[in-house]
Structure 1
Amino acid sequence: MNWFSAEGYWLSRLVFQRALAVIYLVAFLSAVNQFRALIGERGLTPVPRFVDRVPFRRAPSLFQLHYSDRFFAAVGWLGVLWSAALLVGLADGLPLWAHLTAWAVPWALYLSIVHVGQVWYGFGWETLLCEAGFLAIFLGPSAMPPPLIVLVALWWVLFRLEFGAGLIKLRGDRCWRDLTCLYYHHETQPMPNPLSWWFHHLPRWAHRAEAAANHVTQLVVPFLLFAPQPVRTGAAVVVIVTQGWLVLSGNFAWLNVLTMVVATTAVGGSAWAWLLPVAPPASGLDDPPAWYVAVVVALAAVLAVLSWWPVRNLVSSGQVMNTSFNPLLLVNTYGAFGSVTRTRYEVVLEGTADPVVRPSTVWHEYEFKGKPGDPRRLPRQFAPYHLRLDWLMWFAAISPGYARSWFPALLLKLRDDDPATARLLRHNPFPHLPPAHVRARLYRYRFTSREERRETGAWWHRTLVDDYWSPG
């Protein structure tokens, strides 16, 4: 079936499947390590409270049927182990139906987590993993050629991801049009990494070149994904290189890495041949059975219908970012940084053991793992691992409205010295006895100049703006 099979992408499929298994593994580990404090039975936004008001049809999830922290942990660890099995290729020797099932399991498990994750899982990389994971179900085992239809569907994901992000920038903040957004972005992005200070101090012509290259990559290159080879491979390589640049300059969970992984499916087999010493089975690849062909064709029809909503969004002057149009999170719309903040604010949490707050009261600062705190501390690299509380603290600093559903509960958890919440922090100044009071203060942060860095050893300079939340 020449029209159905894409034998030239056998290695592309192998790379994609193994890399996707790694991302699944990271995603499940992130969920297991953080869920108790965020969405557990005694978390900041508990799952039981959520499922009581949101019906299954809107948020299909295993946890709509039953929830306990022990059950969530079991699901999360099952996802970790299942992803590890897929990573080492244990599914490759299974019959076709079992292989499809093997890839359906982590998709169903992670979809269940995302649907009850609430604000902590409201990011584009969550829906991207669900969409890419769903398509991975139908790619087939290594004994068969990958179906061209599914590969095209993955290229369509990549097109929407890149082109949607490019359009939202062009339509949004003026600084993207005058090529000045990168004057600010490396400093004000949600979670800088160890290289962000150096990226911020690149000359302004380099920042303008970054912005111009972004427009080319996101507004022109995506169309080349549907061109013949070797143009398609060239387009995929451009996407991979530019996403790698973003990996070097910031912490964006697995968004950039997963984008690179999806792009590998557009790289032709000849390009992989000299990189990977892996060959198809010596006996040749099996022909796909008729039932499998029918399933994939039906899938294509469903995806074509579901594409109406994201296409309409792309051409709309009121384009929105990172939105799903169906409860299975298929054929979503994507986008990032339609506007860029010029000034960085940080919410700094402090506690005191003094039972009565006086002007002389000594306050001790809580330190987060990823978000800026101590000005002398170099930002760390965490991506593709996702620190969910740290990311939401960035939004809280922009406006208290973003944190209304969880921030008061966070302060109460710190005041009560909740162990699960404390584990989300890098430093808890009250490891033995809970504080008497907790407060939040708003600071203006900026990267130090090269001269300030040499003189003080600090990566950040911060100035107190005001109280963000004070003890009552």
Structure 2
Amino acid sequence: MEWFTAPDQWLSRIVFQRGLAGLYCVAFLSAALQFRALIGERGMLPVPEYVRRTRPRHTPSLFHWRYSDRLFATVSWSGAALALALVAGAGDAVPLPVSMLLWLVLWGLYLSIVNVGQTWYAFGWESLLLETGLLAVFLGNDDTGPPVLVLFLLRWLLFRVEFGAGLIKIRGDPCWRNLTCLYHHHETQPMPGPLSWFFHHLPRPLHRVEVAANHVVQLGVPFLLFTPQPVATVAAGLMVATQLWLVLSGNFAWLNWITIVLALSAVDASPLTGEHPQPDPPLWYVVVVVAFTAFVLVRSYRPVRNLLSRHQAMNRSYDPYHLVNSYGAFGTVGRIRDEIVVEGTDDPVAHPDTVWREYGFKGKPGDPRRWPRQFAPYHLRLDWLMWFAALSPGYAREWFGPFVERLLEGDRDTLRLLAHNPFPDAPPVLVRARLYRYRYTTWHELRTTGAWWHRTLVREYLPPIRLREPTDTAR
């Protein structure tokens, strides 16, 4: 069975598995702390209503069997606890079949959440976490050397993530081809981080170098993952460096971190650590891994066809289990940034002298003087969807009205998603939303005003409404 394992990759496996378990923990924590307002029994898009109109075979989830907020909380916190146990090494402390079962349970619990999460979970990194998590089931533990075939599948996934992102850019917005996209990206990305303002003000020639380097790393370097060591390690190192650059410049949930974890699985640390003697794999395990590898390669047909298509999709799953998916990001880069500002008032009737008080969000821009915060890899789902809602009301048609209703009710769970509630004693009588155009301030403006953003009113997004009026009139 010498062909089957790569004993010199034992440290790479440990780093990958512990890192992935840590990201699982963040994902379950994000679900546990936000679900009641988003998809709970009294949430904006309640799970019970969703499962009544969908079939289990289309959205497999244990919540088709039964749903309650208590059960969802139990699933989320149990997933976080199991992930923490795997971070601590529980997977290596139990027999191989039990270790595989632990990883499979973790995958199944998160799949159950994603498949009832609706628009709040419609992000490419959800599928990426699930696909990576399923591969981890077959990577084994300290009872055997890391299977070469699964290590190959991890590189194949990393290849599709990076090469797919590179192709969607070069085929998409012309600014990627003329190397000017970063003139705008740091300012218009969904959720800027604390350093994004400074990245935006880097010299424009450096922005062009950044884009060119990105093309090299995403379109050329991925092929080197399948070359002998140490070339594959160098390729993985370049990807890690690029992803860390993205971590510093923005807030993209766990997308960058899971890509880093995948890249670390391709690093050969044997010159530093040597081989770690491990037992030969049992025959049943070899058969299972070979069968699973063949299954993944067959299922790769549609992602490969998507990569080769002139009409490449950016992020797509081809089955409800998110098994082998297509990935990509930022095929188009916005040139302007619009933000929705939500305000309330105690006045029973709106008039020109009405004093409106602004709600503050945790991650998305609001108060121009508030310095953006770092939240990734934690995922602020409401803040992300507010960015989409500013692009087009169509993205918010299902949930924006219920969101405003809960502000008018003073719903505690919804208010917990916000950084600032301007009505701590009683909910407002009226709530409205306005669309503003945001841009970064200049160095001079920052020094003189202390503001990171300058904003200008564009138009009304939602007229003032009270609790018993319809809330689906956003335009």
Q: What TM-score does the superposition give when structure 2 sets the normalisation length? A: 0.97
Q: Secondary structure at the match of 2:433?
A: strand
| 1:312 maps onto 2:282 in alignment | no
TM-superposed CA distance for 1:269, in Å, is 2.4
Structure-2 separation of matches of 1:271 and 1:409 = 57
Contact 1:191/1:252 (CA < 8 Å) preserved in 2? yes
Instruction: Report the counterpart of residue 25 of structure 1 in structure 2.
Output: 25
Is the CA contact (8 Å cut-off) linking 2:7 and 2:275 kept in structure 1?
no
Decide which of 442, 445, 453 is 1:460's aligned counterpart: 453
User: 2:202, 2:96 → 1: CA distance?
Assistant: 51
Gaps of 5+ in 1: 274-278
Aligned pair 1:148/2:148, yes or no?
yes
Q: Indicate conservation of the 8 Å contact 1:12/1:272, yes or no.
A: no
> CA offsets, 1:179-229, max 9 Å, x none?
000000000000000000000000000110111011001000010000110
Q: Name the structure 1 match of 2:291.
A: 298
Coordinate RMSD, CA, aligned: 0.9
Map of 1:276 onto structure 2: none
Q: After TM superposition, give the deviation of residue 143 of structure 1 in Å.
A: 2.9
The residue identity in structure 2 corresponding to 1:433 is A
Q: Partner residue of 1:167?
A: 167
Distance (whole Å) between structure 2 residues aligned to residue 254 and residue 91 of structure 1: 22
Alignment correspondent of 2:122: 122
1:414 maps to which of 379, 401, 407: 407
Partner secondary structure for residue 5 of structure 1 = coil
Alignment check: 8 A CA contact 1:252 1:383 kept:
yes
State how far apart, in whole Å, the 2-side matches of 1:132 and 1:318 are: 25
Map 1:436-447 to 2 at 5 A.
Answer: 436-447=429-440
Aligned to 1:434: 427
What are the equivalent positions in structure 2 for 1:33-72 lying under 5 Å apart? 33-72=33-72
Counterparts of 1:343 and 1:352, CA distance in 2 = 29
**CA deviation string 1:288-312 (max 9, x = no partner):** 0000000000001110110001001
CA distance in 2, matches of 1:132, 1:246: 20
Partner of 2:382: 389
Find the aligned partners of 2:311 and 2:387 in 1 and give their Cα distance: 25
Distance 1:177 1:229 in 2: 32
Q: Which amino acid aligns with 1:215?
A: H
Paired residue type of 1:417: G
Kindly tell me the number of residue pairs found equivalent between the two proteins: 465
Counterpart secondary structure, 1:116: coil
Q: 1:271 Cα deviation (Å)?
A: 5.7
Residue aligning to 1:93: 93
SS at match of 2:265: helix
Equivalent position of 2:470 in the other structure? none
After superposition, what is the alpha-carbon deviation per residue over 1:41-72, rounded to whole angstroms, capped at 9, x for unaligned?
A: 11011111111111111111111111110000
- State the percentage of identical aligned residues: 63
Secondary structure of the residue aligned to 1:347 is strand
> Shift of residue 404 of structure 1?
0.6
Offset at residue 328 of structure 1 (A):
1.2
Determine the C-alpha separation between the residues in 1 that align with 2:278 and 2:433. Answer: 62
Distance in 1 (alpha carbons) for counterparts of 2:306 and 2:64: 30
What secondary structure does 1:244 align onto? helix
Deviation at 1:2, TM superposition (A): 2.0
Map Cα deviations across residues 83-113 of structure 1 (whole Å, 9 max, x no partner).
1110101221211111110111111100110
Contact 1:14–1:142, Cα closer than 8 Å, also in 2: no
Q: Does 1:349 align with 2:338?
A: no
Pick the aligned partner of 1:398 from 391, 397, 401: 391
**Structure 1, residues 237-269: CA drift from partner, whole Å, max 9, x if none?**
000000000000000000000100011110012
**Separation (CA, whole Å) in 2 of partners of 1:417 and 1:207:** 45
Structure 2 Cα separation of the partners of residues 280 and 251 of structure 1: 38
Moved over 2 A (4+): 269-273
Shift of 1:280: 6.2
